[in-house]
Chain A
Amino acid sequence: MKTSFKLNGKQVQVETAPDATLLWTLRDTLQMTGTKFGCGVSLCGACTVHLDGMAVRACVTSISMVAGRSVTTIEGLAEKELHPLQEAWIEEQVPQCGYCQSGQIMQAAALLQANPRPNREQIVSHMNGVLCRCGTYVRIVKAIESAASKSEKQ
């Protein structure tokens, strides 16, 4: 089956099985490996990408659902410079193993899109679906708060 959609601003067409998921299409067919596989059943958030600006789990998003729509992955989150969240992530030295962090950043970016100045509770409830085994949660909250306050100042 052929599917066309926008990936990080560029039109792409892929040939896959009709029941292929967005996750494995991104990773294997399109060789965009920034989006991670963690559980395959929407429990960990490692595969989080944006579909028309909304955070979705790519592992349970079938390729047919993205036809004609716009997908953004960690590779396309920022154009030239880093996204303010990526900068904050470096500033706070958030990642340890780093495997969950694409999903964390994509989930956080969708939050700031909708709510540029979230409070702590809003951050925690929005981010709760993305697991981090290395235990970087405290720094993730700090990084989101700092990115939000910086973009507000600008």
Chain B
Amino acid sequence: MKTEETTAAGSTITRRRFIATAGSLGIVITAGSFVPKFLMAKDGEEIAIDPQQITAWVKLDKDGRLTIYNPAAEMGQGSMTALAVIIAEELDADWKLVHIENAPVIPETYGMQWSGKLGGPMITAGSRTIRGYYSNLRQAGAQARYILMYNAAQKWGVPISSLKTEPGEVVNRDNNKRMTFGEIVAFAKIPDAIPQIAEKDMKRPENFRLIGKVLPRFDVPLKVDGSAQFGMDIQVPGMVYGAITRSPVFGSTPTLLNENEVRETEGLVDIVPLDHGIGVVANTFEQALKAKRKLQIKWSDGAKAEKFDSEMVYADYHNMVHDDSLKGKELLNTGDAANAIKSAHKTYDWEYRNDFLYHARMEPMNAVVSVAADGKTAEAWAGTQAPDADQSAIAEVLKIDPSKVMFHNCYLGGGFGGRQVEFSAEAAVLSNKVRRPVKLVWTREDDLQYGSYRPISLQRMQAGVDQKGNLLGWRHYIAGPDQRLQGGAVPMAYYKIPNQYVELRLTDHGVRTVYWRSVSHGPNKFAQEAFLDEIAFDQKIDPYQYRRRMMLELPRHLTILDKVATMCNWTTAPAKGRARGIACSDYGGSYTAGVVEISLDRQSGKIRVHHVWAAFDAGVVIQPDNAIAQMEGGIVMGISSVLNESITFKNGKVQQSNFHDYPILRMADAPESIEISQIPSSAPPTSMGELSLPLMGGAIANAFLKLTGKPLRHMPFTGEKVLAVLEG
């Protein structure tokens, strides 16, 4: 069995050692919040690294090949390539010679920037990867470049100031002599002191060669020939397969009623009871599934979720947001909203609802864990958003130190929030019991019914306006479970609105909830934007102009809004039977505005989104085509969730089970075109992955209002609900 002392699959770096590629010389160049240190290794030599002090980001070989270590999970967002581009830009690398490897799981060194320093958790979430690593990785690249120039200067006996770099080469400005980076590696020495490179000595955005240019993603070729390794694809010699039946009502505990019968299943290796389910391990996955199907389990009574009915709960929420004796958590309070509304010329007071949502990542949860015969070490493979947390969870199951768990992060077949830990911990329990490598696979039904969902919520929106329809006061009450997931997305930095008050009234139903792409932005931006549109509609003001009025003093935002209005030809009416809706949103320091064009089948109530336009400002964009892909993906997932998706609970049990009753958007219902425009900027990069999705709820509701004169206030806007609204 492999242990921590061997290398990660195909990797030249581990928690403890850096291994130079055989037959060449490598330099590990380090950076981060610590005093930089540099290491060299010759011909396959292995050298110890001290994870407390060393942050290895790149390795340069004699043939010029540059390996860049990727600290983030690659789940489709493309940051694996973008992070490498940031280093390569400042290093002035020849992109053709760049190769990307996953960094080992060492949060102390590769962890996300957390309160200003690297070394936080290795979590890929909240669209923080690029903004969180940008300045440190530029520094790493700039210092690596310094070392190369320093060595070339020594060799030629010239001052370093007489040198410059061109892609992959150091060039002497005076005589145009050149040396490739690979040639330098052959004699390179690490200078005694490596200066911290000041911002003014780094490349200016207008001189970027790689950042902001269209470079193909590193992982794409592996994803068109089937060779990319997802957690699901890992094969380990001697591996057996696990499956688990988990609590249908979260919190209930199992008693297996027919152990003997299940043990007779062909190929069965073992039955493993867990707190939240019964696991079976068998020689093949299909045998494990057969054993799983045979399980007869009695579930304990008394779980908190047992009586929960998600369709009934809206009535409670309605009461909660109208009960003046309640006081929840204040999320925003500027001016005096209550009085401003009371004394307004006209007031509005509406409710918006959002059902639970499921992630529906195409790759169901899974993990391979191999616990050593003595139980003292383990090796594990999974696609996770937080490999260090998975590593710790496995260690906790085995009661060993996390450093004894060699964890390999794999490509993730979708992340979208909260894909981490529990599958790894479960696989560790199974493997620990059978002391063989176990591949645990969740079936689609397992994944859907034991999901952790975007929580249900109800939003009560109140506003008061003056005679011209200008907002004087704004109140927003949110009711639902899980503060982490409900309390964001409240400020609207892109609108000037006086007197705002926002309050969260929490509930708890004992069901599982977790981050879901864009988190609170999905429901809260829907409520804000749909409500604004209804006010504009009532005031007979064009919804674009209405938003514009609130942006007049905010030029950055106005640029985005005007851009999208131009892109879609807002002032020209769409074809008959079509209507457009507009919405604004933000995420993690980025801003966007979008327009959808819809039609409606009045027989079935089905809404069809034909075209989408969006403009965004996310600061410097590292990989523009990939940023566009993220906008497109968020739009499609947004439309899917807004039109079709709903998880409902009855007696604490999820009522849906697979894609027939949890339909995610198919190609026939995807927009015919999505047009994205990036507003150029030299500000530091901000978030991309969750920016566009929150536009869809508002924009679609607003287009529907325009088309029919009726508001949609409950997501998803299924045919059934739409028909009810049309009749109502």
Contacting residues, chain A, for B229 (C-beta < 8 A): 33
Count of chain A residues with a beta carbon within 8 Å of a chain B beta carbon? 59
CB-based contact B226/A73 at 8 Å:
yes
CB-based contact B364/A38 at 8 Å:
yes
Residue among B75, B667, B668 with most chain A CB within 10 A? B667
Contacting residues, chain B, for A134 (C-beta < 8 A): 76, 362, 414, 633, 636-637
CB-based contact B227/A34 at 8 Å:
yes
CB-based contact B225/A74 at 8 Å:
yes
Give chain A interface residues in 133-150, CB to chain B under 8 Å. 133-141
Residue among B362, B629, B632, B668 with most chain A CB within 10 A? B362
CB-based contact B664/A133 at 8 Å:
yes
Is B101 close to A, CB under 8 A? no
Closest to B439 in A: A28
The A contact surface, by secondary structure, is loop
CB-based contact B659/A39 at 8 Å:
yes
CB-based contact A93/B626 at 8 Å:
yes
Cα(A131)–Cα(B444), bound, Å: 14
CB-based contact A36/B444 at 8 Å:
no
CB-based contact A135/B670 at 8 Å:
yes
CB-based contact A38/B667 at 8 Å:
no
Interchain CB contact (< 8 A) of A135 among B77, B412, B635: B635
Cα(A75)–Cα(B226), bound, Å: 6
Contacting residues, chain A, for B630 (C-beta < 8 A): 96
Residue interface mask B215-228, A partner, CB < 8 A = 1: 01101111111111
Cα(A90)–Cα(B224), bound, Å: 8
CB-based contact A127/B667 at 8 Å:
yes
CB-based contact A31/B224 at 8 Å:
no
Q: How far is the CB of B256 from chain A (nearest CB, A)?
A: 24
Contacting residues, chain B, for A90 (C-beta < 8 A): 216, 220-221, 224
Cα(A41)–Cα(B78), bound, Å: 30
Contacting residues, chain A, for B233 (C-beta < 8 A): 27, 33
CB-based contact B235/A31 at 8 Å:
yes
Cα(A89)–Cα(B228), bound, Å: 15
Closest to B286 in A: A24
Residue interface mask B620-657, A partner, CB < 8 A = 1: 00000110011011111100100000000000000000
Is A65 close to B, CB under 8 A? no
Is B478 close to A, CB under 8 A? no
Give chain B interface residues in 510-545, CB to chain A under 8 Å. none
Is B673 close to A, CB under 8 A? yes
Give chain B interface residues in 200-225, CB to chain A under 8 Å. 216-217, 219-225
Is A128 close to B, CB under 8 A? yes
Give chain B interface residues in 277-301, CB to chain A under 8 Å. 284-287
Contacting residues, chain A, for B76 (C-beta < 8 A): 95-98, 134
Q: How far is the CB of A105 from chain B (nearest CB, A)?
A: 6
Q: How far is the CB of A124 from chain B (nearest CB, A)?
A: 5
CB-based contact A82/B224 at 8 Å:
yes
Is B363 close to A, CB under 8 A? yes
Q: How far is the CB of A112 from chain B (nearest CB, A)?
A: 15
Cα(A19)–Cα(B284), bound, Å: 13
Give chain A interface residues in 65-101, CB to chain B under 8 Å. 73-75, 77-78, 82, 86, 89-90, 93-101
CB-based contact B362/A133 at 8 Å:
yes
Interchain CB contact (< 8 A) of A97 among B286, B413, B659: B413
Give chain A interface residues in 1-45, CB to chain B under 8 Å. 17, 19-21, 24, 27-29, 31-41, 43-44
CB-based contact B666/A41 at 8 Å:
no
Residue interface mask B668-699, A partner, CB < 8 A = 1: 10110110000000000000000000000000
Contacting residues, chain A, for B284 (C-beta < 8 A): 17, 20, 24, 28-29
Interchain CB contact (< 8 A) of B362 among A29, A38, A75, A86: A38
Is B708 close to A, CB under 8 A? no
Q: How far is the CB of A38 from chain B (nearest CB, A)?
A: 5
CB-based contact B362/A131 at 8 Å:
yes
Closest to A103 in B: B362
CB-based contact B224/A86 at 8 Å:
yes
Closest to B670 in A: A137
CB-based contact A37/B232 at 8 Å:
yes
Contacting residues, chain B, for A20 (C-beta < 8 A): 284, 286
Known interface pairs A99-B414, A136-B633; A36-B668 also in contact (CB < 8 Å): no
Is B658 close to A, CB under 8 A? yes
Known interface pairs A38-B444, A90-B220, A133-B362; A97-B226 also in contact (CB < 8 Å): no
Contacting residues, chain A, for B413 (C-beta < 8 A): 36, 97-100
Is A132 close to B, CB under 8 A? yes
Cα(A105)–Cα(B76), bound, Å: 17
Cα(A130)–Cα(B45), bound, Å: 48
Is B230 close to A, CB under 8 A? yes
Is B717 close to A, CB under 8 A? no
Cα(A101)–Cα(B77), bound, Å: 15
Closest to A39 in B: B444
Cα(A68)–Cα(B407), bound, Å: 42
Is B411 close to A, CB under 8 A? yes
CB-based contact A138/B632 at 8 Å:
yes
Is B338 close to A, CB under 8 A? no
Cα(A96)–Cα(B671), bound, Å: 18
Is B361 close to A, CB under 8 A? yes
Known interface pairs A40-B444, A136-B633; A95-B220 also in contact (CB < 8 Å): yes
Closest to A100 in B: B362
Interchain CB contact (< 8 A) of B658 among A41, A82, A137: A41
Is A125 close to B, CB under 8 A? yes
Is A51 close to B, CB under 8 A? no
CB-based contact B226/A34 at 8 Å:
yes
Contacting residues, chain A, for B671 (C-beta < 8 A): 138
Residue among A44, A138, A139 with most chain B CB within 10 A? A138
CB-based contact A125/B668 at 8 Å:
yes
Is B443 close to A, CB under 8 A? yes
Is A46 close to B, CB under 8 A? yes
Is B360 close to A, CB under 8 A? yes
Q: Which 10 A-B pairs have the closest CB atoms?
A: A34-B226, A135-B636, A99-B413, A98-B223, A97-B76, A96-B76, A74-B226, A33-B233, A135-B633, A95-B223
For this complex, 21 residue pairs linking A to B, each with C-beta atoms less than 8 Å apart, are A33-B229, A36-B413, A37-B232, A40-B443, A73-B226, A82-B225, A90-B221, A96-B77, A96-B630, A97-B76, A97-B414, A98-B411, A98-B413, A99-B363, A132-B362, A133-B362, A133-B414, A135-B640, A136-B633, A137-B665, A137-B670
List A residues at the B interface (Cβ < 8 Å): 17, 19-21, 24, 27-29, 31-41, 43-44, 46, 73-75, 77-78, 82, 86, 89-90, 93-102, 105, 124-125, 127-141
Since A93-B220, A94-B224, A97-B363 are in contact, a sample of 17 more A-B pairs with Cβ atoms closer than 8 Å, ordered by chain A residue number, is A17-B284, A17-B286, A24-B285, A75-B226, A93-B217, A95-B220, A97-B75, A125-B668, A131-B362, A131-B664, A132-B362, A134-B76, A134-B633, A135-B633, A137-B670, A138-B670, A138-B671
